[in-house]
């Protein structure tokens, strides 16, 4: 199963920083994650659309625009909320 790392607010919402979630592609992993942690659905989605500010990386590469990206058991999915600094 792919590993998912959650950061900042998303980690707080789920109560875990890292978890293995089943899914053959990125869309399935995100859907399975939000089924397991329903409060993440509100944070990730507006209706059925992934919110623009949700950043998703697979093995260190931006995968935000490709939810159909095929995943393997060795892949690491990182999901970040918006980051601000000052």
Helix (H, G, I), strand (E, B) or coil at 45: strand
Q: What is the CA radius of gyration of the chain?
A: 12
What's this model's pTM, rounded to 2 decimal places? 0.90
**Residue 48 has what pLDDT?**
87
**Residue 16 has what pLDDT?**
96
pLDDT score of 22 more than 60: yes
Q: Name the CATH code of domain 3-80 (choices 3.10.20.30, 3.40.50.10210, 3.40.225.10, 3.40.50.1000).
A: 3.10.20.30
Contact 7, 54 (CB under 8 A): no
Q: How far apart are CA 50 and CA 65, in angstroms?
A: 10
Give the whole-number percent of the chain exceeding pLDDT 90. Answer: 84
pLDDT score of 82 more than 70: yes
* Nearest residue to 22 via CA among 77, 62, 79: 77
């Amino acid at each position: 199963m792919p590993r998912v790392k959650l950061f900042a607010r998303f980690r707080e919402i789920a109560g875990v920083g890292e978890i293995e979630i089943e899914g053959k592609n990125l869309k399935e992993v995100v859907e399975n994650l939000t089924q397991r942690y329903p409060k993440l659905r509100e944070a990730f989605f507006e209706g059925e659309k992934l919110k623009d500010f949700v950043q998703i990386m697979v093995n260190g590469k931006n995968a935000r625009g490709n939810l159909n990206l095929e995943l393997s058991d060795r892949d690491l999915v990182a999901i970040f909320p918006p980051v601000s600094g000052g």
